[in-house]
């Protein structure tokens, strides 16, 4: 794909960060926020203990002009049951029609509501492994996931393949990943899915979109809302939409106390 070719010769530098905050306001309401360099979304999920009754989004920052319209396809989830595993939400709606990041957030929130949890925060990072271990060849990355401040998962990556730890080594973060996570328990699977998305989306800092006329010029397959044929020709890059938080993670998710 063209977007993979565009990032092939762009080195990865600094520390990429992605944070997700999930909070149950009461017995029927979960509020979630997600922020990384290119995205900042909020979502309110109202449920009756068994089914989704309402979904409201807040689009604070996004890369394409059409991203804010992704609340419409997300309404396909209203009336659907709460599920125990975040990955199960993909069986209830066509993921390709959704904003990937809103749908990720919704998946985690539905599992959060099903489990009856109070509060949870994920903080994922990706950085060059050579910055931590000078003897490691260039191109290797360290991806780590903290849940409520504690490291729960860590991978060493090379060419989008997990090289360590031994139990995960050899797996790519692309093909066959979900088949593997479905063999894990719900908590392990959720952590792996969250870190996989952190690693995948971190590649976005190596792709410039500001000069494009529309998303159609990126050559991406129709894998999300803004890249669908009906949207991609008029999906225009949002100027100055990127924020880097390499050394200032405390500035992320400044709106978590506000209901979308």
Domain edges within the chain: 10-14+121-200, 18-118+205-251
pLDDT averaged over every residue in the chain: 92
Q: How confident is the model at residue 135 (pLDDT cuts 50, 70, 90)?
A: confident
* Short-list 256, 151, 139, CA closest to 194: 151
Q: How confident is the model at residue 101 (pLDDT cuts 50, 70, 90)?
A: very high
Tens digits of residue pLDDT in 14-51: 999 999 999 999 999 999 999 999 999 999 999 999 99
Beta-carbon neighbour count of residue 91 at 10 Å? 10
* Short-list 39, 35, 31, CA closest to 55: 31
Q: Across the chain, which distance is largest between two alpha carbons, in Å?
A: 54
Q: Is 214 left (phi over 0), alpha (psi -120 to 50) or beta?
A: beta
Q: How confident is the model at residue 258 (pLDDT cuts 50, 70, 90)?
A: low
H-state helical runs in the chain = 2-7, 71-74, 100-115, 177-181, 186-202, 229-232
Q: What is the mean pLDDT of residues 216-239?
A: 93
Cα distance between residue 64 and residue 224, in whole Å: 12
Q: What is the mean pLDDT of residues 110-128?
A: 97
More confident residue, 74 or 3: 74
Tens digits of residue pLDDT in 155-198: 999 988 999 999 999 999 988 999 999 999 999 999 999 999 99
Phi, psi of 140 (to 5 degrees): -80, 145
Give the rounded percent of residues in the chain with a pLDDT score beyond 70: 94
Q: Please, are residues 70 and 102 in contact by the beta-carbon 8 Å criterion?
A: yes
Q: What is the mean pLDDT of residues 228-239?
A: 95
């Amino acid at each position: 794909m063209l977007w993979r070719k565009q990032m092939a010769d762009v080195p990865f530098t600094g520390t990429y960060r992605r944070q997700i905050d999930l909070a149950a306001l009461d017995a029927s309401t979960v509020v979630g926020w997600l922020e990384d360099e290119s995205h900042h979304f909020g979502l309110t999920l109202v449920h009756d203990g068994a089914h989704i009754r309402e979904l409201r989004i807040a689009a604070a920052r996004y890369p394409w002009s059409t991203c804010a319209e992704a609340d419409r396809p997300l309404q396909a989830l209203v009336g659907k049951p709460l599920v125990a595993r975040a990955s199960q939400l993909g069986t209830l709606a066509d993921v390709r029609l959704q904003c990937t990041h809103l749908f990720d957030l919704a998946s985690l929130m539905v599992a959060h509501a099903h489990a009856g949890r109070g509060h949870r925060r994920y903080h994922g990072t990706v950085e060059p492994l050579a910055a931590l271990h000078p003897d490691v060849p260039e191109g290797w990355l360290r991806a780590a996931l903290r849940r409520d401040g504690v490291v729960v998962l860590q991978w060493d990556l090379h060419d989008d393949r997990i090289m360590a730890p031994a139990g995960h080594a050899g797996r790519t973060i692309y093909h066959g990943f979900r088949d593997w996570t479905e063999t894990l328990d719900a908590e392990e699977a959720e952590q792996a899915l969250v870190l996989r998305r952190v690693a995948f989306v971190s590649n976005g800092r190596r792709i410039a979109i500001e000069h494009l006329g529309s998303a159609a010029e990126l050559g991406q397959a129709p894998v999300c809302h803004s890249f669908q044929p009906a949207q991609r020709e008029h999906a225009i890059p949002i100027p100055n939409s990127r924020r880097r938080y390499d050394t200032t993670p405390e500035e992320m998710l400044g709106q978590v106390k506000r209901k979308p």
